[in-house]
């Protein structure tokens, strides 16, 4: 039974909700303490009627993630009005079919064709950094990086150019997604707002609907323009050497020769636009933060990039350069461990499951706490320290494969993880080839744990030409 799992005592009405300090630095400290008290699994109550198991050790996360148990309906239905039942939310046969149809979009041959675009969008970001370096202006990292990742996603996966990096501080799509993420997170922590009718009567509910309508329109405009282009240049499109993500969405057929419906296409476009720009922006922003915080590590990364590009006239990062950026990759992975761009994911049991000697009944809600996994003292000593050498091959070999899971793991791992890694390595190498970064010492960074890890106060730094 669920009561047999270890956990803090729960209040009769509030459960454990009032113990949680909030989605901030204090809340993250609470989570780390929870992991120390109950190292593999614990039970908590969101009010009087909603128990939840929290897992954060390779032995327990592995059991859940390797299973075919579906995403939690209670949790993920809150984002369905936004991204529908795309790959992130879908379960069962629908998920298997769509995953199979979309896998070709992430083949290495397709990703290789995006490398030129990743260099191009990185160069636009570097132009902005050059201006900051010349003027000595302190700049905010998240807003600039979010526009870079959105630009990269739109140009590579959707062949859609809107010049979003040069249109000002924040593109309306980026603003809408940020607010949607915050609204969903806040609603999840307030069980009395889980009812759709009640939620839509609130100010937040109306704001949520407005932002959903806006992001849907963006996706529909992108799809509509591509369809018109295909119709206008039918012969040219049929002879394209490579297809991008949207091409594959529009042309995919299953074993019954059935394609995706218009709604399914929009759902997958909305899902990939969110997952492909917002979570990547978080990972990149925190990587820049950690590297700016540790100048000695930053110098080692710069030395590696200099060695890879030695003797070249251009700073372009080629496809074949990516495997050579080993220390850069270690720095990136350690930042994803320390800061964990996606802090948690959810599952719901359809049958009993044994976890750490206790049986969880069917219907149990399980939260895989990726942030806690990456700070579990049994796996990661001195977990709050930034140590890229944790990811040296000999150290990785000593750890369970489920110790580090920023892209989830098992059959439902992130389909776009290689796209994200290639993009992040490319832009990190290009930034540090040309600049050194330094944090603004007067600015306090405060984490904000929504569906995506952010800073409530932003991240501010200065760039210096090398």
Decide: 444 and 457 in contact? Cβ < 8 Å: yes
Provide the Cα torsion 149, 151, 153, 157; round to 10°.
-160
3-state SS class at 344 = coil
453 membership: H or E segment, kind and range:
strand 453-455
The answer to whether 164 is a known ligand-binding residue is: no
Contacts of 327 (CB under 8 A, 6+ apart): 300, 301, 304, 388
Query: Do 65 and 368 contact (CB within 8 A), yes or no?
Result: yes
In 3D, which of 352, 364, 362, 369 has the Cα closest to residue 41? 369
Q: How many C-beta atoms surround the C-beta of residue 167 within 10 A? A: 11
In this structure, the number of other CB atoms found within 10 A of the CB of residue 29 comes to 13
Please identify which residue in the block is written with the tokens 């603004």: 440
Cα–Cα distance, 392 to 61 (Å, whole number): 23
Ranges assigned E (strand) in 92-248: 139-140
Do the beta carbons of residue 222 and residue 93 sit within 8 Å?
Answer: no
Sheet strands (E) in 46-178: 51-55, 139-140
State the distance between the two ends of the chain, measured CA to CA, in whole angstroms: 60
**Is the distance from CB of 370 to CB of 342 less than 8 angstroms?**
yes
Tokens read off for 301: 């990364």
- Residue 65 and residue 402 in contact, taking contact as beta carbons nearer than 8 Å: yes
Q: In 3-state terms, what secondary structure has residue 168? A: coil
159 by Cβ neighbours in 10 Å (0-12 / 13-18 / 19+) ranks as: middle
Measured in degrees and rounded to the nearest 5, phi and psi for residue 437 equal: -115, 145
Please check whether residue 384 is in contact with residue 290, taking contact to mean a CB–CB distance below 8 angstroms: no
> Tell me, what DSSP letter sits at residue 317?
-
Q: Are the C-beta atoms of residues 5 and 358 closer than 8 Å to each other?
A: yes
Beta carbons of 447 and 31 less than 8 angstroms apart: no
In angstroms, the CA 132 to CA 140 distance is: 11
* Binding site feature residues: 414
* Binding site feature residues for heme: 414
């Amino acid at each position: 039974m669920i009561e047999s799992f270890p956990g803090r005592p729960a209040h009769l009405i509030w459960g454990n909700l009032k113990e949680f300090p909030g989605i901030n630095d204090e809340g993250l400290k609470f989570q780390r303490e929870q992991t120390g008290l109950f190292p593999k699994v614990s039970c908590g109550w969101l009010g009087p009627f909603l128990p939840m198991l929290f897992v954060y050790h390779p032995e327990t996360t592995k059991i859940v993630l390797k299973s075919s148990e579906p995403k939690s309906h209670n949790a993920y239905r809150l984002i369905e009005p936004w991204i529908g039942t795309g790959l992130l939310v879908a379960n069962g046969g629908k998920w298997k079919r769509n995953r199979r149809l979309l896998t070709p979009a992430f083949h290495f041959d397709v990703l290789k064709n995006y490398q030129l675009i990743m260099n191009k969008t990185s160069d636009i970001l570097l132009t902005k950094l050059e201006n900051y370096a010349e003027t000595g202006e302190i700049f905010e990292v998240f807003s600039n990086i979010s526009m870079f990742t959105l630009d990269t996603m739109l140009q590579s996966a959707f062949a859609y150019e809107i010049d979003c990096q040069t249109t000002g501080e924040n593109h309306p799509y980026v603003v809408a997604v940020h607010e949607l993420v915050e609204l969903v997170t806040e609603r999840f922590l307030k069980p009395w707002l889980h009812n759709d009718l009640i939620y839509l009567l609130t100010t937040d509910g109306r704001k949520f609907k407005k932002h959903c309508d806006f992001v849907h329109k963006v996706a529909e405009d992108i799809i509509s323009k591509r369809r018109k282009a295909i119709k206008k240049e039918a012969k040219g499109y049929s002879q394209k050497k490579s297809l991008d993500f949207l091409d594959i969405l529009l042309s995919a057929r299953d074993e019954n020769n059935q394609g995706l419906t218009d709604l399914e296409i929009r759902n997958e476009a909305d899902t990939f636009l969110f997952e492909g720009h917002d979570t990547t922006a978080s990972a990149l922003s925190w990587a820049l933060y950690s590297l700016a915080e540790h100048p000695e590590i930053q110098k080692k990364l710069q030395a590696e990039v200099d060695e890879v590009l030695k003797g070249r006239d251009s700073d372009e990062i080629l496809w074949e350069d990516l495997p050579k950026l080993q220390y850069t990759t270690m720095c990136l992975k350690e930042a994803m461990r320390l800061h964990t761009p996606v802090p948690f994911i959810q599952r719901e049991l359809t049958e009993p499951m044994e976890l750490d000697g206790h049986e969880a009944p069917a219907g149990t809600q399980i939260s895989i706490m990726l942030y806690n996994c990456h700070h579990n003292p049994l796996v990661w000593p001195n977990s709050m320290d930034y140590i890229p050498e944790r990811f040296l091959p000999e150290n990785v070999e000593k750890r369970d494969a489920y110790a580090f899971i920023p892209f989830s793991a098992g059959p439902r791992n992130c389909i776009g993880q290689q796209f994200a890694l290639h993009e992040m390595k490319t832009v990190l190498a290009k930034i540090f080839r040309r600049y050194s970064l330094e944090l603004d010492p007067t600015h306090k960074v405060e984490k904000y744990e929504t569906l995506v890890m952010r800073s409530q106060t932003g991240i501010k730094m200065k760039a210096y030409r090398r």
